[in-house]
Amino acid sequence: MQVAKSSVLGYPRIGSEREWKKALEAFWAGKLEEAAFQSQLKEIRLSHLRKQQEKGIDLIPVNDFSCYDHILDTAAMFGIVPKRFAYEGGVVPLPVYYGMARGTKDAAASEMTKWFNTNYHYIVPELDGAVPTLAENKPLLAYREAKQALGIEGKPVLVGPLTFVKLSKGYSVAETDAWIDRLIPLYVQILRELAQEGVQWVQIDEPILVTKVSADDISRLKRIYETFAASVPGLNLMLQTYFEAVEHYGDIVSLPVQGIGLDFVHGLAGNLAAMEAHGFPKDKVLGAGIIDGRGIWKAPLRDKLSLLNKLAGFVPSDRLLVQSSCSLLHVPVSTRHETKLAPELKHALAFADEKLEELALLAQAVDGGERAVADALEACDRALEGLRRSNERNRSDVQQAVAAISATDASRSRPFSQRHSEQQKRWQLPLFPTTTIGSFPQTAEVRKARLLWRKGEWTGERYAAFIREQIDTWIKLQEEIGLDVLVHGEFERTDMVEFFGEKLAGFAFTQNGWVQSYGSRCVKPPVIYGDVAFEGAMTVEETKYAQSRTTRPVKGMLTGPITIMNWSFVREDIPREQIAYQLAYALRQEVEALEQAGIGMIQVDEPAVREGLPLKEAEQAGYLAWSVKAFRIATSTVQDSTQIHTHMCYCEFHDMIDSIESMDADVISIETSRSHGELIHSFETNTYKLGIGLGVYDIHSPRVPRVEEMTGMIDRALRVLDPQLFWINPDCGLKTRGFEETVASLRNMVEATRIARDKFAAVKG
């Protein structure tokens, strides 16, 4: 009889056909009434639970589903709503909930930032002025729904108090304990109601414990869980961590909980070393996260069984949960739809549904041994070996070229101060030059044209003519609006990473490999499965055409090597550093092709550098060093008069300023409006000597910002930044925005710039 059990920490929300995304956007557009919307979400939610049930998962998570974001859900559950949304108490209405996420006509959205070192982004709770109360016991409702509809004895999932407070804003460090004390009784109420309902296990996520936590935080943690144990003594609590090895292992495993969940994929070395040094409590269940919840590759099952056998030396199988390393939120739903991939690649993939099968199989093998799953093990071996031997993974030409270039120092020929002088002579730009980040609205007409071309219903010539028409329209609009540096609009690009991957060797593309980035925004990351190589110019044609239509400078637009890597699913057989250098070498050839075509401003976007930053401080310097080197490999061979731009977003600038400056980009544009200008504080304590543009309005919200909002942001920035190096731009690309709001917002931005120029001239005069 099987003793070890399988468990999942969370399942993708979006649906196998992105049904969730479609429902959200239909509701936002007023095409779906709230009752019908909620009905559709329930149907999606139950289908996910049913699938896990059918795959043989023993402990199935509930309350991992969300109408937008799980951190936003937790804030709403406690009635933590910023005052500007006029919340009046009780269950948070959907318009208020989505207002916090997306903004309204009169209220700016809450800040959004990345979820640890993943590509997912969460809504940051604002605690300032909030009086928390239990507005709704969401885990209880989710548990009841699963049990009543499907007979599932679900495992309610909660974001833990320490993690929730540490990821929130709007309070001082001195108020941390007060906020913990306000929330503890509310958590106790939730847990008591779950216990009264007959819940057997509750998963409390505390991923903050894999980061650097203080001794005070450990004291808070003990206070929290000692209170839970005393208040709900009969309830089984699984304290769940993920994304890395835990800090303070001894303190954490001694907490009065019934189970500890550890990541044995990304935190394998640290967690295993801690167990070998300190053992594991005999009275607790071990949630062993051995199947990668963030990667798409089939698990090497023999290796995983060996690891489970090693863990069996610390905990018997009746106290072992075979788990995903984290929620499966970060991977696509199923490989079932992938009919066009090369067999050697498809056979080596495992998305969420396939990971469920791996978990069930490994749980079976813990007690039955390898013989019980021999056929599956052999099939896994064949699949992984087939990919390893493929020609795409063994390109000696690429490997030798990249080894040579990565061994050299990549630097511009002259320092920024001298380059800046050359660039000013060439471009004669006004004070506070205005520009955008790159993309313009991808309308239904644009998407339809691309689809017709991809289906073969349009010829390449017809599609190219259509793209030129779009470029013509937006070049004229940018000139009319009054922008100083223009872009071609990126109408030919589906996605800032996919577009380049389609033109480089070593990439593959799924048909339905969607994952959630934020809200309803889903992305389909490319798969880097082989050696990356340049195969020909990728952006020259459209950029050169755009430049021919105007006398103002047009920026060439590329996605940087680190962002392409971090926003792709990458191979695991070589270090990520080597993948970054392969990408950088390919992009260098594109940068040189643009320059040779007469393009003198080239933007190489790196919005995802911060997302890949290791959670462990000891590993961060090394990552930043080779990330900077990759950027410089891609951009360092241009002439002094060629201006290199880059763009970053959701970046805590203060702890990366040295690395960002070392990238040696002539101009960096960086997000600041979503965080309500807080980023500017970084420059009040640090100097930045290169060109910089702070985004003055949030493109993730459909609202049109007022001129006064942007002038206030500009005024504050100019108190700490060199006016001669200051640029003005939106936060990010405008691909997802509508035509009218984009034009109106840019007009306001240009007007705010005019006001700033007049103010500066008056002061100087």
Q: Give the tens place of pLDDT for each residue, 127-136.
A: 999 999 999 9
Per the prediction, the chain carries an average pLDDT of 94
Average of pLDDT values for 457-474? 96
Q: 418-506+540-764, which class in CATH? A: alpha beta
pLDDT digits (tens, 9 = 90+) for 18-64: 999 999 999 999 999 999 999 999 999 999 999 999 999 999 999 99
With bands split at pLDDT 50, 70 and 90, how would you rate the model's confidence at 435?
Answer: very high
| pLDDT surpassing 60 at residue 676 | no
Annotated binding site for L-homocysteine: 437-439, 490, 605
Tell which CATH classification among 3.90.550.10, 3.30.70.100, 3.20.20.210, 3.30.465.10 matches the domain 5-13+47-388: 3.20.20.210
Contact 533, 583 (CB under 8 A): no
- d(CA 272, CA 309) in angstroms, rounded, equals 13
Which tokens sit at 194?
């779950």
pLDDT band per the 50, 70, 90 thresholds, residue 246: very high
Task: Report whether pLDDT(685) > 80.
Answer: no
**What is the predicted pLDDT for the residue at 353?**
98
- pLDDT level of residue 713 (50, 70, 90 thresholds): confident
Provide the 3-class DSSP secondary structure of residue 662: helix
Give mean pLDDT, residues 73-99: 96
Boundaries of every domain in the chain = 5-13+47-388, 418-506+540-764
- What number is the average pLDDT over the span 721-742? 90
pLDDT of residue 295: 96
Burial, 761: exposed, middle or buried (Cβ in 10 Å; 0-12, 13-18, 19+)?
A: exposed
Q: What is the pLDDT of residue 404?
A: 92
Q: Residues marked as binding for L-methionine?
A: 437-439, 490, 605
For residues 643 and 597, the answer to whether their CB atoms sit within 8 Å is: no
Cite the annotated binding site by residue number: 18-21, 114, 437-439, 490, 521-522, 567, 605, 611, 647, 649, 671, 732
460: pLDDT confidence band, cut at 50, 70 and 90?
Answer: very high
At 1 the pLDDT is 43
Average pLDDT over residues 197-220: 97
Please report the pLDDT score of residue 610 as a whole number.
Answer: 83
Which helix (H) or strand (E) covers residue 547, if one does?
helix 540-548
330 classed as catalytic: no
| The pLDDT value given to residue 667 | 95
* Contact predicate 488/507, CB 8 Å: no
Are 5-13+47-388 and 418-506+540-764 in the same CATH fold?
Answer: yes
What are the pLDDT digits (tens) for 336-385?
Answer: 999 999 999 999 999 999 999 999 999 999 877 888 888 999 999 999 99
CA dist., res. 388 & res. 379, Å (int) = 15
Task: End-to-end CA distance of the chain: give it in Å, rounded.
Answer: 87
For the segment 161-171, the average pLDDT, to the nearest whole number, is 97
Question: What confidence score (pLDDT) does residue 694 get?
Answer: 82
Catalytic residue among 48, 420, 645, 700: 700
For residue 692, what is the DSSP state?
E
